[in-house]
Amino acid sequence: MSSLGPQSLDSFDIKIHERRQMRSITKPRLFFDTNVCSHLLEEPYIGHYSAISEAIEQKYQMAVSPETFIELVVGLHDREGSHFHEDLAKIRVMAGTGRPVFLPFCGEFSLGKTLGIKRFAALRPVVFEKWYRLVTSTHTRAELFGMWRQEFVVEQHREGIDSYREWLKECATGGYSEFPPPERWAMNYAKSLGCDLTPEQAAKLGSKLSAAYEFRRSDFVKACDPNFKWDKKKREHDWVDGQQLLYLCDQSIHLLTNENGIKLKCAPSPQGQRVFILPEFVRDDLGIRV
């Protein structure tokens, strides 16, 4: 683990990664929601996967969000070894067929992109890039987890899911009277990342994170409905989906998902236009019939 941890990264590695990112911003960027990585390996897409991936690489610069990567790693961690190669294929789909750009964590990314605030996460993009090379070079689950101890990443992911689940439960039991306006929501979001904002900064951040804001507000409204029924599996994905939408503060970034609900929840935001749904994207944007 020590050879792959953030403490081992020298400035030369980071500068190479940053230069690669700068070369990659001429094309609009596209990253996959976790569900896309499995759907592209199933019917009706698997027989057209080569054409789909080639068309994406021609039109977009592939990007990888830590949230997608970690969610797929959690799947590798939790499932039996008999599914290892199937799960590994999903991780390869996530990165595309070219040289993807690995994005920072959404908190670091959103504060830096919208306000110029540098709040570096403990794990930088170059760490995830090295982890990706490690994961995709192994042949068995035992080999991978024998050399790579990533429990802290899995634990952090589960803590986020648990925290969001508790928040929704509190909403459902009347723990909150109203959802905050965008600027106050943004102020609370930045504070959770250890950053105090001025009112002007909060207003700007709230407007730039409008897709994520509308998504969370939609979840709040649903949870406050007396007819709301708790679905543990769906709610777990809600936390990750809301995190993914934070990247849309960058106008060059697009999210591809197979979940219509994500696009519907953030529809009041103009950023929702950069959320693509897999069947329509393949047919209309790429011009491929499946």
Q: Let me know how many helices (H) and strands (E) the chain has, helices first.
A: 15, 5
Give the DSSP H/E element, type plus range, for residue 18. Answer: helix 11-23
In the predicted structure, residue 242 carries a pLDDT above the cut 70: yes
pLDDT at 1: 34
Tens of pLDDT along 207-230? 999 999 999 999 999 888 888 776
The pTM for the full model equals 0.88
The rounded distance, in Å, linking the Cα atoms of 54 and 49 is 8
The rounded distance, in Å, linking the Cα atoms of 98 and 55 is 12
The rounded distance, in Å, linking the Cα atoms of 71 and 16 is 26
**What is the chain's mean pLDDT, rounded?**
88
pLDDT at 7: 39
pLDDT at 149: 74
Radius of gyration over every alpha carbon of the chain, rounded to an integer in angstroms: 19
Over range 115-128, report the average pLDDT: 92
Q: Look up residue 20 and give its two tokens.
A: 């690669």
Considering only 22-26, 64-68, 149-153, 270-274, which range has the smallest mean pLDDT? 22-26
The DSSP secondary-structure symbol of 100 reads P
Q: Look up residue 71 and give its two tokens.
A: 């969610």
In the predicted structure, residue 19 carries a pLDDT above the cut 70: no
Sign for the CA dihedral angle at 92, 93, 98, 100 comes to: negative
Residue in 7, 20, 15 with CA at minimum distance from that of residue 64: 20
Q: Look up residue 287 and give its two tokens.
A: 């011009």
With tokens 């080639």, the residue in question is 54
In the predicted structure, residue 231 carries a pLDDT above the cut 80: no
pLDDT at 16: 44
